[in-house]
Amino acid sequence: MAVPKSRVSKARRDKRRSSHWKLNTPNIVACSKCGAYHLPHRVCKACGTYKGREVLKVKESN
């Protein structure tokens, strides 16, 4: 039966596990038409375009 040679301290164990719980920030890209930032592969909420085509009709705010 496999038995560890020596006990691993709590600090060493937690240092090893620390990188497993980091959250990744989502990538943000600029819209090619209006320059507003949005998530990649999604419609721009500011101008309603996706891959150069108008997908959504956006109301003009005055």
What pLDDT digit, counting tens, does each position of 11-41 carry? 999 999 888 777 787 899 999 999 999 999 9
pLDDT value, residue 61? 66
Phi, psi of 15 (to 5 degrees): -65, -40
pTM for this prediction: 0.54
What confidence score (pLDDT) does residue 12 get? Answer: 94
Count how many Cα atoms sit within 13 Å of the Cα of residue 28 in the half-sphere of its side chain. Answer: 5
The answer to whether 28 and 38 have CB atoms below 8 angstroms apart is yes
